[in-house]
Amino acid sequence: MVAALLAALLGTGALGGRAALGQIERSVGADGVISISGGRRKGGGDGRAKAEGAPAVHMPSDTSADRLTRYDAYIREAATLYRLPAAYIRAVLQTESNYDPRAVSPAGAIGLMQLMPFTAERMLVEDIYDPRQNILGGARYLRILANQFNGDIHLTTAAYNAGEHAVIRYGGIPPYEETQGYVVKVLENYERYRADENE
């Protein structure tokens, strides 16, 4: 049901087949236009391997009540620009950083949407700590993944956590405990935010 709903909202993608993933590089312009060129993904590998020179770990610590609405305008902007449900962006954001723009994971993912530096670079994010740029960059990446996986919310979510190559390699959600738990948590948050929108 959820997968079908998101597929309908997202539409089908236009980003090439799965076989070519290791041979092409995608970049997204500030206006959302996706460019495709030859080459390998900078940083290599899947998921969130620790990057050299990564900043110190900072676990989410902002507990102020207003953090839950502080970024609403940016979430709406990203939802409109990348044709994603705002509730889905919000669910990923909460699961990733609990609304703390200073969050840095042990693997080196940064900010509200916990972008790895090489992913932020691919999404043309200039300041990874800037809340607006981080949200737009994360939404761009979700849009690319949704296109790549034909709007399947489970695979899109798993790929955001583990990397698209891992999802392709395993033909579905990778057998990583972290990723499997992550998908469940994001979808639970998504359903809750959707219900709140409909009240």
- Express each pLDDT in 131-161 by its tens digit: 999 999 999 999 999 999 999 999 999 999 9
Q: Is 96 a catalytic residue?
A: yes
> In degrees rounded to 5, what are phi and psi of residue 58?
-140, 105
What are the extents of the domains in the chain? 2-51+64-197
Spatial distance between the Cα atoms of 160 and 182, rounded to a whole number of angstroms? 10
Residue 94 to residue 98: CA distance in whole angstroms: 4
CA–CA dist 113, 92 (Å, integer): 7
Tokens of 44: 């290599």
Geometric angle at alpha carbon 67, from 100 and 2, rounded to 5°: 85
Q: Which of 96, 121, 126, 197 is catalytic?
A: 96
Of 121, 115, 118, 155, nearest to 139 by C-alpha is 115
CB 6 within 8 A of CB 151: yes
Burial per residue of 148-187, b for 16 or more beta-carbon CB atoms within 10 angstroms, e otherwise: bbebbbbbbbbbbbbbbbbbbeeeebbeeeebeebbebbb
pLDDT 10s digits, 10-54: 443 333 333 333 333 444 444 444 433 333 332 333 445 444 555
Does the pLDDT of residue 58 top 70, yes or no?
Answer: no
pLDDT digits (tens, 9 = 90+) for 116-132: 999 999 999 999 999 99
Q: Give the CATH fold of the 2-51+64-197 domain.
A: Lysozyme (1.10.530)
Residue 60: the pLDDT is 67
Residues 45, 50, 53, 59: is their CA dihedral positive or negative? positive
pLDDT value for 16: 32
